[in-house]
Every structure is written in structure tokens, then in C-alpha cells.
């Protein structure tokens, strides 16, 4: 029970990596706030977890909704120990000049500005409690970018830099800040990352990963669990590659 009595907020938790984290954290004793824009998805995941989870419908691009989510967490569980910024958005793989401005703005709002909203909402609470953990789902795209996802890649590079700077600034408050860099996996955004989802494209992508497969929600959840736990008490400012060797 590595997260016994800990309270975790996980955004983008209605599916994919976030759902995997929510369920894995709960298995290890955490109370979980399942947050997502997808109301039905949050309710399903929270119901599958049981009494140790609540569902909150949240648009992470808005500070007002982030604040309401934090208020719901505090009302239900009385504290916040772990903040996981997992919600993400991307444009379809293709010409960077073909990405419309509204899509670009949504990428920056969800992948970048939401981290700012999270910090403003939870850092004062964590400081008053004596510490905490902030964890962001970045991407291998922020470390080893490739053509076709330029603006998404850039947003994840921003998230990695923000993680490192936050880690240094928040260390005196005993708040650890890390991020995960997954390779693409079995999530709802896979078709966007590849341009389209075909057996041929999947095979081509798998061939670029030394361990020979895409990531799974459990792969990412296990890495997140370790970084969020006291086992990683001396780990901060890390961009952990969970990629089967893709970034080598």
C-alpha cells in the first residue's frame, strides 16, 4: 500500500493513461479524484474504483474549473498529496502549417497552461500540509521530436522545462515535481499521433521502439506510482522516459 492515506487528483482520468493511474493508485491505498472533461467517463472510472474515488467533470484549461475541482477534493478528502497533470491534447500528424489556430490554442491551454493552473491551485495547500508531489504526463515527443507533430512536441518540451524549474523552486517547500515521458500507446490519441490508425502504421511505429511494442496504461501507471510514492522521496526534476528505449 505505497500510497496509503494519500489523496491524488488525476486529470484526463476518464480513459487511457489517466484511467490506468487512477486505478493503480487506488489499488495502492490512495483516495482518488477522477477528473476529466468527459463526465460519463469520470463517473464510470470512479464507480469502478469504489468508495475511495470521486468523479469531477473539469475543463483544465480554465482556472475557475480547476479551483472547483480542488474544492471538491478538499471537501471529500480533506487534503491533496498528489497532483497529476495528465490531461492532454494534440493535432493530427501532418504539416505544421496546416494546424489551425484554434487547435494550437487548445494544445497550449491543455498541455501547458493547465500546469500553471494546477500549481496556483495546489501549491499553497501542499505547502501548508508540509509537502506534496506534482507529476505531469509529458512525452518522448518533448525529448526526441519528429516531423508531423511540431506544435504538440513543443508543448511537451515546455512541460519538461516547467517541471525542472518548478522542482528547483518548490524544493524548499518539500514539494517534488517530476514528469513522465511515455512513448505513444493504446489511448484515444494514437490515431492522431500516427495520422491514421492502420496495421501498417502500427507496425512501422513498433519497429522504432527497441522493446518492440507500444506503451500501455499500466506501464505509465506503474512509473507514476513510483514517482508519487515515498520510495522516490529524493527524486525531483526528473523527466522519466517510459518508452521501451525509443529515446535512445
Give which of 172, 156, 160, 177 is closest to 232, Cα–Cα: 177
17, 66, 77, 152: the active-site residue: 152
CB atoms within 10 A of CB 12: 30
Active site residue 116: no
Positions marked active-site: 152
Amino acid at each position: 500500500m505505497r500510497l496509503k492515506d494519500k489523496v491524488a487528483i488525476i486529470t484526463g482520468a476518464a480513459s487511457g493513461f489517466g484511467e490506468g493511474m487512477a486505478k493503480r493508485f487506488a489499488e495502492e491505498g490512495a483516495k482518488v479524484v477522477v477528473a476529466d472533461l468527459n463526465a460519463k467517463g469520470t463517473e464510470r472510472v470512479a464507480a469502478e474504483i469504489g468508495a475511495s474515488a470521486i468523479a469531477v467533470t473539469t475543463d483544465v484549461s480554465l482556472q475557475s474549473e480547476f479551483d472547483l475541482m480542488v474544492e471538491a477534493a478538499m471537501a471529500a478528502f480533506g487534503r491533496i498529496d498528489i497532483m497529476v497533470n495528465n490531461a492532454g491534447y494534440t493535432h493530427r500528424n501532418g504539416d505544421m502549417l496546416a494546424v489551425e489556430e484554434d487547435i494550437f490554442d487548445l494544445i497550449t491551454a491543455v498541455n501547458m497552461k493547465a500546469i500553471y493552473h494546477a500549481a496556483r491551485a495546489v501549491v499553497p495547500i501542499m505547502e501548508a500540509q508540509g509537502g506534496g508531489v506534482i507529476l505531469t504526463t509529458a512525452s518522448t515527443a518533448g525529448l526526441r521530436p519528429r516531423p508531423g507533430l511540431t506544435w504538440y512536441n513543443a508543448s511537451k518540451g515546455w512541460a519538461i522545462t516547467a517541471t525542472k524549474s518548478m522542482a528547483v523552486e518548490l524544493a524548499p517547500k518539500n514539494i517534488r515535481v517530476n514528469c513522465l515521458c511515455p512513448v505513444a500507446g493504446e489511448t484515444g490519441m494514437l490515431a492522431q499521433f500516427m495520422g491514421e490508425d492502420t496495421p501498417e502504421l502500427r507496425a512501422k511505429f513498433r519497429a522504432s521502439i527497441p522493446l518492440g511494442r507500444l506503451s500501455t496504461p499500466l506501464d505509465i501507471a506503474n512509473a507514476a506510482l513510483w514517482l508519487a510514492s515515498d520510495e522516490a522521496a529524493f527524486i525531483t526534476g526528473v523527466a522519466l522516459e517510459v518508452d521501451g528505449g525509443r529515446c535512445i
